[in-house]
Amino acid sequence: MTPAERRALLGDDVISHIHDVVDAAPEPSPEVVETLRRIFSAPRAAAPPKSPAATAA
């Protein structure tokens, strides 16, 4: 979804509200940053393929 599509879907007021909420949120603690860094930098195996029954549902 492009920014223009998102703006058309949500409208300027909603986008402004989202920006205000994000701006008011506190900065994450160093512990949270380090935990997220470990999570996002750890290589993981690919998810197994879905079974035919799961894709049919």
The residue type of 12 is D
pLDDT of 5 reads: 97
pLDDT digits (tens, 9 = 90+) for 1-57: 999 999 999 999 999 999 999 999 999 999 999 999 999 998 788 888 888 876 666
pLDDT of 57 reads: 60
pTM here?
A: 0.54
pLDDT of 55 reads: 66
Q: What DSSP string describes 1-57?
A: --HHHHHHHH-HHHHHHHHHHHHHSPPPPHHHHHHHHHHHHS--PPPPPPPHHHHH-
